[in-house]
Structure 1
Amino acid sequence: CSAVVTPELPILERRNWLIHLHYIHKDYDACKIAIKEQLQESQGMCEYAIYVQALIFRLEGKIQESLELFQTCSILNPQSANNLKQVARSLFLLGKHKAAIEVYNEAAKLNEKDWVSIGIPSCYTSLDSLLDHLNNALLLNRHDLTSMMLGKIHLLEGETDKAIEVYKKAVEFSPENTELLTTLGLLYLQLGDYQKAFEHLGNALTYDPSNYKAILAAGSMMQTHGDFDVALTKYRVVAVAVPESPPLWNNIGMCFFGKKKYVAAISCLKRANYLAPFDWKILYNLGLVHLTMQQYASAFHFTSAAIHIQPRMGELFMLLAVALTNLEDAENAKMAYEQAVALDQ
């Protein structure tokens, strides 16, 4: 009868699993004990134990101690980009922005695919310096992640045209990147360019038929053109992937509204409102459907809530005015009409 010999873990890594277990369960006291035992056994040479101890120090606000331990990890494993990123993050938290950027750049050389980590934008003290860095990076290497970040910054600044140009160039370089295709399609959809939107969303679905963002956008285009049944078929697919999506239930509700199934429309819109209570568009749609059903008090309630969130839209005041007129509140209805006219000028 032969005995099976289980290979032992190297002494440097013997307690790594235990350290990891305690850390992910946030049992930091037990984690520290396991780390101490591991470092005693390995004579301070266990990279993982030092790394987790550094993470715990950072959580405790001991940033300088954390930095020193991450630097130790980098000495033990100089080829680890992640160790350098943690060093850079600690430097940034200590206010040493320039040093942090230099270390991030060193990490970039070790792992080009992950050069633009989540920490690097926070190291830049101005938007212009970050934009310059991203544009220079694209000249050196066309990473899709760089393009996505640059495009998002332009969108945050309200520069839709610049964002579209960034995404168009990115798609030329990576024609099968479904995230880029979908983002570009959604931007064209917002601008009302349905042909280009359909082209890019269609390409995204060709490479990834289960891309729920592209399916939802394609459904909304069909809905805009009155193809409610086709749109609902698309939305059923999305509902399997993201059943708690507010835009999904909003769109389903308005499909039922288009089919004059008002009770079903209100049911779906109320679910959307539950999932996103501060989305004024959903509140607007609820007001519209209740107004159509001649439920004027409910229409007033939802339209008023929408106006509190979006007070600069004439259409909302027009809807409110109609509800107030039917509630025989002529004075407030007149004020709402006047506000609607003033905003639409």
Structure 2
Amino acid sequence: MELNKAITLNNQGAKHFLEKEYEKAEQCYLEAFEINPKNVSVLNNLGLFYHQQKDYEKALSYFDLAISHEEKPNFRVNAGNSLVMLNKPDKAKEQYLKATKLDPRHIGAWVSLAKLCTHLGELEDAVLFWKKLMRYTAKEEYILELAKVYMLKKQFNVAVSLLYERIPNPNNPEIWFQIGRGEFLLKNHGMAEDALKKALAECPDQVEYRYYLAINYLSMGQIEGGLYHINMILKLQPDNYQILTEKGIILCGLHEYDNALKLFEKALSIQPEYDKAIHYKKLISNQTS
């Protein structure tokens, strides 16, 4: 009878948690834990609760307790997530790998491994883990993430080919952006323009997409097109000190030094320690003095 009560309290806690009634959720979970301290669902839910509350040490203690009673891959993944937040990536990786041994098809474990290795700059391992994941499911989002890792490895041809081949009819603007970025870095400016325009057609306020289109035009010598998109970004983000500086650099190339200087000064009023603006402001000052 008492065990059934623990199950009921655990379910109530989960409901409160989903409804963001966190105090009530904690109360239900703890009551359930007192009744049945070996209930792994309660232990895991307590871990998830304290992880959400950013008490990662306490979260980990409950995940470890759950694992001590029953080996489940999601418990290992949850423990790994808390270890990542505690800045213990090697131990986190161990947990994720143990999860994959318990269930080689556990998507969350492979995704966590791949993302952690990407974050750590362990790009060969990241590629390996994304590829292992895609043996079981080749979702568009995973192909995109693998392409991003190839971009980080500066294997732009591989990244672009992967996106074209594995996603032949992309409708996700992020995919078109990554294709456009890759083509730009490969100096295929016409193809980059086409892809970036498709990305922007879906997300016209996406600053990064527009910035790459701007620098792609500038690389082709189309100053007017580049400036148009730089100005569009500044309409969206008038205090973007990096874009203000980029526009100033363009104006320097057009010998509009007074206007460029104003832009560098505005950028520095927003971010006084921005080295790029400081550098170009000094260049103009030296040239005009």
TM-score, L = length of structure 1: 0.60
User: Any stretches of 5+ residues in structure 1 without a counterpart?
Assistant: 1-44, 330-345
Shift of 1:132: 0.9
Shift of 1:215: 1.3
Q: Distance in 1 between matches of 2:252 and 2:283?
A: 8
Matches within 5 A, 1:114-263: 116=77, 121-122=81-82, 125=86, 126-142=88-104, 143-171=106-134, 173-174=135-136, 176-206=138-168, 209-263=170-224
Question: CA 1:58 to 1:194, structure 2 compared with 1: closer, same or farther past 3 Å?
Answer: same
Shift of 1:212: 2.3
Letter of the structure 1 residue corresponding to residue 97 of structure 2: N
Shift of 1:250: 0.1
C-alpha RMSD of matched pairs (Å)? 4.3
Equivalenced residue count is 271
Residues 264-284 of structure 1: CA distance to partner in whole angstroms, max 9, x if unpaired? 42232243354596684x455
Question: CA 1:175 to 1:288, structure 2 compared with 1: closer, same or farther past 3 Å?
Answer: farther
Shift of 1:133: 0.6
Q: 1:87 matched to which residue of 2? A: 46
Letter of the structure 2 residue corresponding to residue 141 of structure 1: D
Question: CA 1:46 to 1:95, structure 2 compared with 1: closer, same or farther past 3 Å?
Answer: closer
Report if the CA contact (8 A) 2:117-2:126 is conserved.
yes
Question: CA 1:239 to 1:101, structure 2 compared with 1: closer, same or farther past 3 Å?
Answer: farther
Residues 69-111 of structure 1: CA distance to partner in whole angstroms, max 9, x if unpaired? 6769x99xx99x6x764332245548263223443798984xx
Report if the CA contact (8 A) 2:14-2:25 is conserved.
no
TM-score, L = length of structure 2: 0.70
Report if the CA contact (8 A) 1:87-1:103 is conserved.
no
SS at match of 2:164: helix
Question: CA 1:96 to 1:84, structure 2 compared with 1: closer, same or farther past 3 Å?
Answer: closer
Letter of the structure 1 residue corresponding to residue 146 of structure 2: L
Report if the CA contact (8 A) 1:57-1:66 is conserved.
no
Q: Distance in 1 between matches of 2:155 and 2:122?
A: 17
Report if the CA contact (8 A) 2:107-2:133 is conserved.
yes
Matches within 5 A, 1:320-335: 320-326=281-287, 328-329=288-289
Shift of 1:308: 5.2
One of 265, 290, 312 as aligned partner of 2:251: 290
1:67 aligns with 2:53: no
User: Any stretches of 5+ residues in structure 2 without a counterpart?
Assistant: 1-7
Q: Distance in 2 between matches of 1:69 and 1:84?
A: 12
Shift of 1:303: 5.4
Shift of 1:63: 7.1
Q: Distance in 2 between matches of 1:99 and 1:48?
A: 17
Letter of the structure 2 residue corresponding to residue 267 of structure 1: Y
Letter of the structure 1 residue corresponding to residue 81 of structure 2: P
SS at match of 1:192: coil
Which gives a bigger RCO, structure 1 or 2 (Cα 8 Å, sep 6+)? 2
